[in-house]
Amino acid sequence: MTRSCSAVGCSTRDTMLSRERGLSFHQFPTDTIQRSKWIRAVNRVDPRSKKIWIPGPGAILCSKHFQESDFESYGIRRKLKKGAVPSVSLYKVLKSSCKQS
């Protein structure tokens, strides 16, 4: 099963090709506080319940939503730093693209 990024307006899928392009994929943290920070950052609304969207067990975000400084490198592998919160290209992108049109 191919998973895709959970961020609003982002359609990056977790495929070999994406990984070859240097993207990495990160599951939502299990720590409650950290997890709620991610949920708030993603700021996604469930279309059915109209409530804040809660990530399922397989929910992931792609590395586009993190700053370079949020990562630690182990050789060729990258890992998110403890406490990193997504801050890049989230819902704000949609808002700014609306203004342009």
Gyration radius from the chain CA atoms? 14
CB of 56 to Zn ion, least distance (A): 16
Taking the least distance from each CB to Zn ion, the nearer of 75 and 96 is: 96
CB closer to Zn ion out of 64 and 78? 64
Q: 71 has which bridge partners?
A: 80
- Least CB distance from residue 61 to Zn ion, whole Å? 6
How open is the CA angle 74-80-85, to the nearest 5 degrees?
160
Report residue 4 CA to chain centroid gap.
10
Taking the complex as a whole, how short is the minimal distance between the CB of residue 6 and Zn ion, in angstroms?
8
Binding footprint of Zn ion on the chain (CB under 5 A)? 5, 7, 10, 12, 62, 64
Q: Considering beta carbons, is residue 62 or 80 the nearer one to Zn ion?
A: 62
Cα first-last separation, the chain: 36
